[in-house]
Amino acid sequence: RTSVSTMFELMGREEKEIRNKVIEQLMLKPVANTRKVIREVTIQKMEQLLDYIVKLSVDRDNGSLTVTELRRVVITIFMVYSVLRLSELQRAMLNTTQIDQGIITICTNLLKGKRGRVEVTLKVVNNKAVCPITWFQAWNEKRKIKTTDKDLLRKNSENKRSLTPEECSKEVHIVMSNAGIDKMFSVTTIRKVATSAMQNKDKSKIEIDRWSRHSESADTVRENYDVNNNDSIRKALSECVSAREEGGMSKLKE
């Protein structure tokens, strides 16, 4: 649609000739055919992904995970808790000035939906096995170049460039594959699964909308709603582990 109208503009056509009610009606069917097909699809359970991260947390605490393995989990778990798109996370900057208090702020730009700058605050959760701050600190301690308000996704000192979106996607896919998630599921399903998991936890639509930036109404809610409710959402996310894991997790919780 955009390219056709731009072509007519470059040809010198007037605005009323390009955009009018007749053209809109003629374009209804072609435009509808270009839209994504809405299907009923099955998505993986959040428990499947977090259970795998729980198992990895044992190796993390033993110091046996490599920098790359830690980075993969950090990217994935930041997606879960922030509900940011991978591209938004890839270009993010971090504010780690309050990390000693268990707080990290992700600063990035939204280029889809409601555009503009956004700051997402992540905090420590009781379940250290799936705590984003704990995972980040474990990764940062092993890196040769520490994070100090720099790009979130940096390679090691031998290669200082930021990871590309394609490389980030590959990193998350490796985590998903190792967790036993079918390859048919894309990285974007993580955001959908996180939202679905909160619905299953009986969180209200207002809480979910505000946390996920999912609807227009969320903009108003964010300005007037108690920000502590985001903490409630993320605490509930940290509890999305299988019942079979809960018994063995008591030692990992503080």
Say yes or no to pLDDT of 134 above 90. yes
Q: What is the mean pLDDT of residues 16-35?
A: 73
Instruction: Select, from the ranges 133-137, 164-168, 248-252, the one with the highest average predicted confidence (pLDDT).
Output: 133-137
pLDDT at 224: 40
Q: What is the mean pLDDT of residues 21-35?
A: 74
What is the Cα gyration radius of the chain?
Answer: 21
pLDDT at 189: 75
Q: What is the mean pLDDT of residues 156-174?
A: 76
pLDDT at 233: 73
pLDDT at 164: 82
Domain boundaries, the chain: 2-34, 46-249
Q: What are phi and psi of 128, to 5 degrees?
A: -60, -25
Lowest mean pLDDT among 20-24, 119-123, 245-249: 245-249
Tens of pLDDT, residues 52-77: 899 999 999 999 999 889 999 999 99
pTM, to two decimals: 0.67
Q: Which helix (H) or strand (E) holds 90?
A: helix 86-90
User: CA neighbours within 13 Å on the CB side: how many for 193?
Assistant: 24
**Six token digits for residue 248:** 């063995």
> 76: burial class by Cβ within 10 Å (0-12, 13-18, 19+)?
buried
Chain centroid offset of residue 144 CA: 26
Instruction: Select, from the ranges 62-76, 83-97, 139-153, 221-235, the one with the highest average predicted confidence (pLDDT).
Output: 62-76
In angstroms, rounded to a whole number, what is the distance separating the alpha carbons of residues 65 and 138? 9
pLDDT at 225: 43
Strand order in the sheet with 93-95: 93-95, 103-110, 116-123
pLDDT at 243: 54
Q: What is the mean pLDDT of residues 136-158?
A: 66
User: How is 185-216 classified by DSSP, letter by letter?
Assistant: S-TTHHHHHHHHHHHHTT--HHHHHHHHT-ST
pLDDT at 220: 40
Tens of pLDDT, residues 197-216: 776 667 777 676 666 665 54
> 87: burial class by Cβ within 10 Å (0-12, 13-18, 19+)?
middle
pLDDT at 132: 92
Say yes or no to pLDDT of 237 above 60. yes
End-to-end distance of the chain based on CA atoms, in angstroms?
Answer: 55
Question: In a 3-state reduction of DSSP, which class is residue 83?
Answer: coil
* The domain made up of 46-249 is a member of CATH 1.10.443.10: yes
In angstroms, rounded to a whole number, what is the distance separating the alpha carbons of residues 106 and 111? 15
Q: Which residues, at least 6 apart from 154, have a Cβ–Cβ distance to it below 8 Å?
A: 143, 145, 147, 160, 161, 162, 163
In angstroms, rounded to a whole number, what is the distance separating the alpha carbons of residues 168 and 173? 9
pLDDT at 180: 87
In angstroms, rounded to a whole number, what is the distance separating the alpha carbons of residues 223 and 154? 33
Say yes or no to pLDDT of 3 above 70. no
**Six token digits for residue 207:** 């809480």
Say yes or no to pLDDT of 113 above 60. yes
Higher pLDDT residue, 58 or 190? 58
Question: In a 3-state reduction of DSSP, which class is residue 157?
Answer: coil
pLDDT at 40: 46
Q: What is the mean pLDDT of residues 103-117?
A: 81
> Which residues are 122's β-sheet partners?
104
